[in-house]
Amino acid sequence: MIELINITKKYGNFLALNKINLTINKGEIVGFLGRNGAGKSTLMNILTGYISMSEGEVRIHGIDILEEPEKVKKNIGYLPEIPPLYVDMTVKEYLRFVCKLKEVSKERIQSEIFEKMSFVSIEFVQNKLIKHLSKGFKQRVGLAQALIGNPELLVLDEPTSGLDPKEIIEFRQLIMDISKNSTVILSSHILSEVQALCHKVMIINEGQPLLITDPNEYLNDHLIIRIKATENEIITCLQQIPFVKSYKKIGSYELNTLDFLLISEEKLDIRETVFRSFSHHQLPLLMMKQQNNHLENLFLHATNEKAGVKS
C-alpha cells in the first residue's frame, strides 16, 4: 500500500502542491490528470524521492520514504517525462549499466536484461545506439530501465506523450500487463487514456487535488445504438425496455438505420437488456457504444473553478 499524507510543496513562496492525500492499493493503476504546470511532475518527483516535500509524508508499505530512502527507492521504477537515457550507449549497454546501478546480482544481469527487452519488444534493437532510435523505441528503453529489478511500484510521467497512435495502444497494453504484478502511477493530459487505464484518478489543478475513486462509474448509463428499423418500430421497442430513463433520436448515419441515445436509470448497465429486446422484436442492432462525459465534466469543472470561470 502507498500512502500520500498531506503532501504540500512550496517553491519559495509558490504553492505547487496543496495537501495531497491518497491511498493506493497493490495492483491499482492510478492516474494524475492535469494541465501543464498543474503539479503532476512535482508530485511524482516527491513520490520517487527525487525532491523533498515541504510538508507531509510518503509511506510505501508502511515505510517513510525520508526515513529509509534507499530501501524504498529500490522498490520504485521511474520513467520521468524525459527518460534518463545515455544516448551514446547501445540499448544493451545501457540496461547493463542500469542493472549495476540497481544492484542486480551479477548472475542475474544477463537474464534480467533479456527478460525486460523481451517484455517491451526491443530485442532486435539491442545493439543499436540509443540516439539512433525512434521516440517510441526510446520510450520502450525508458520503460525497460524502470522495470529492472521488478519494482513493486512503477511511476510513469506522461508515458505516451509524443508517441504515434499505434505506439500509444501498444504502450497502454504494456502498462496493463505491468499492473498484473506492480502498482502503477501515471500522469497524463489525456482524459480518455486515464479513463481507459486507471482505477483511480486524481485531477490536479494548480496544486489542488480532486480525487475520483471510479472514473468509469457512469460509463454504462449513456448508450448510443444504431438500429435498422423505422422510427416507430424503434420507439415501440424502447418503450418496453426496463430501466431506460430517456431516449433521443440522434440521426441517420447509414442507409435505413437510425441512431438513438439512451440514458438508463443511474449507473445501470442496460446493454444486455437492450440487445435482447431488439433481438426479440427482430430489429437488427448494428452498433452499440458507451458515451461518457463524466470525467471530462469533472475535469473541466475542477480546472475552470480555480480559473474563476463559471461552469
Q: Which residues bind ligand ATP (CB under 6 A)?
A: 11, 14, 16, 34, 36-42, 81
| Shortest separation between residue 8's beta carbon and ligand ATP, angstroms | 13
CA separation for the pair 227, 258 (Å, rounded): 6
Q: Shortest distance, CB of residue 304 to ligand ATP, whole angstroms?
A: 17
278 CB burial (10 A radius; 0-12, 13-18, 19+): buried
Q: Which helix (H) or strand (E) holds 25?
A: none
Q: How many CA atoms lie within 13 A of 98 on its CB side?
A: 29
- Listed in sequence order, the residues at least 6 apart from 174 whose beta carbon sits closer than 8 Å to its beta carbon are 119, 120, 143
Is the CB of 292 or the CB of 303 nearer to ligand ATP?
303
Q: For residues 34 and 159, which CB has a smaller minimum distance to ligand ATP in the complex?
A: 34
Helix 106-119 to helix 135-147 angle (10° resolution) is 140
Q: Are 26 and 183 in contact (CB under 8 A)?
A: yes
Least spacing, CB of residue 19 vs ligand ATP, in Å: 15
**Smaller CB separation from ligand ATP, 155 or 274:** 155
CB of 51 to ligand ATP, least distance (A): 8
Comparing CB distances to ligand ATP, the nearer of 36 and 239 is 36
Least distance CB 187 / ligand ATP (angstroms):
7
Choose between 37 and 242: whose C-beta lies nearer to ligand ATP.
Answer: 37
CB-wise, 14 or 282, nearer to ligand ATP? 14
Smallest Cα–Cα separation from 122: which of 164, 82, 150, 91?
Answer: 91
Q: How far is the CB of 21 from ligand ATP (least distance, A)?
A: 18
Interatomic CA distance for residues 257 and 166, integer angstroms = 32
Amino acid at 169: I
Least separation in angstroms between residue 227's CB and ligand ATP is 43
Side-chain-facing half-sphere of 107: CA atoms under 13 Å: 0
How far apart are CB 184 and ligand ATP at their closest, in Å?
17
| H-helix or E-strand spanning residue 295 | helix 294-307
Cβ closest to ligand ATP, residue 20 vs residue 262: 20
Look at residue 132 and give its three-state secondary structure: helix
- Nearer to ligand ATP (CB atom), residue 49 or residue 271: 49
> Where do runs of H (alpha helix) occur along 122-262?
135-147, 165-178, 191-197, 231-240
Determine the Cα–Cα distance for residues 8 and 43; give it in Å rounded to an integer.
9
DSSP run (H or E) holding 73 = helix 69-74
